Amino acid sequence: MVFRIVAALSIAGLAGRLAYLRFRESTILGGAQAGSFSRTAYFRWLGRNALSLFGPSGWRSLQTLYAYCLTFHTTVLMKIVFSGLVWSSLFLALTGIGFAVFSPRGLFGIFLLLHVVAGGVFAVCLAIDVFLRAKEYNFALEVLAPGRRSFRSFLDSFSSPLHRSLLFWAFALAGFILVVTALFSMVPYFGLDTQLALVETHRWSALGAVLVAMIFFDAVLPRPQK
């Protein structure tokens, strides 16, 4: 019950917060006026954009967005890895978090089987992605470089793009915990209490991965243009 409440509130709250920041950016670029940032204006903007996703234009926008994300990856291998990571993550989040929040029985049946298969795809793609992109997101060297060791410099280092590096490694860590807890829960070497602890750790790390992924993709997606 605690996980359901925390998961639902945190995901909804973060999604609302990120959407509000996008709303402010688009409103400012459009020429903000008195009342432009009101709650009514925000929900009107949110409803209009949410409804547009269910039409042909919304589908085209999602395709364009997906194609834009693929441009960050220059090789065929990285495009395949990125696609596998994105789609497996989406399926794992929808089935894992969805069943944990809305189903008192939890994940079961064919969805559990597909969840395990998607977990294997996620594990492989995450390992390859981290191996190939570790240098790209290596923020530690820049943070610890000479002349950047003051506390103020440390705080400044988390401006874009280095804060994306932090998000990348946070997602990689959460993904690693997800894979390890899933694998350990499948072997007959642990007692009931340990198995239950593994399941709980798996759930909370999954929630952390979802929240980090939401922030990361919001950071890399294009901002509203004038």
* Residue 28 and residue 68 share a domain: no
Instruction: Write out the H or E segment, with its range, that includes residue 39.
Output: helix 39-52
How many domains does the chain divide into? 2
* Residue 39 and residue 12 share a domain: yes
With beta carbons less than 8 A apart as the criterion, state whether 96 and 115 touch.
yes
Query: How much of the chain, in percent, has pLDDT values that exceed 90?
Result: 22
* Residue 167 and residue 72 share a domain: yes
* Residue 114 and residue 14 share a domain: no
Domain-ending residue, one of 26, 52, 78: 52
What domain range is 144 assigned to?
Answer: 56-220
Residues 147, 150, 156, 162: is their CA dihedral positive or negative? positive
Q: What is the pLDDT of residues 101-144, one digit of tens each?
A: 888 777 888 998 999 999 999 999 999 999 988 877 776 545 54
With beta carbons less than 8 A apart as the criterion, state whether 203 and 2 touch.
no
With beta carbons less than 8 A apart as the criterion, state whether 139 and 132 touch.
no
Residue 172 covered by a domain: yes
Q: What is the pLDDT of residues 35-57, one digit of tens each?
A: 566 777 777 877 777 776 676 76
* Residue 31 and residue 82 share a domain: no
- Walk along the chain (226 residues) and give the pLDDT tens digit of each residue: 788 889 889 998 888 888 888 888 777 766 655 456 677 777 787 777 777 667 676 677 777 777 877 777 778 888 899 899 999 999 999 998 888 888 877 788 899 899 999 999 999 999 999 998 887 777 654 554 544 444 444 444 445 556 678 888 889 999 999 999 999 988 888 888 888 899 889 999 999 999 998 888 887 776 655 5
Residue 67 covered by a domain: yes
Residue 225 covered by a domain: no
Residue 34 covered by a domain: yes
* Residue 69 and residue 28 share a domain: no
**Locus of tokens 């999954």:** 206
* Residue 126 and residue 48 share a domain: no
**Locus of tokens 């642990």:** 190
pTM of the entire predicted model: 0.78
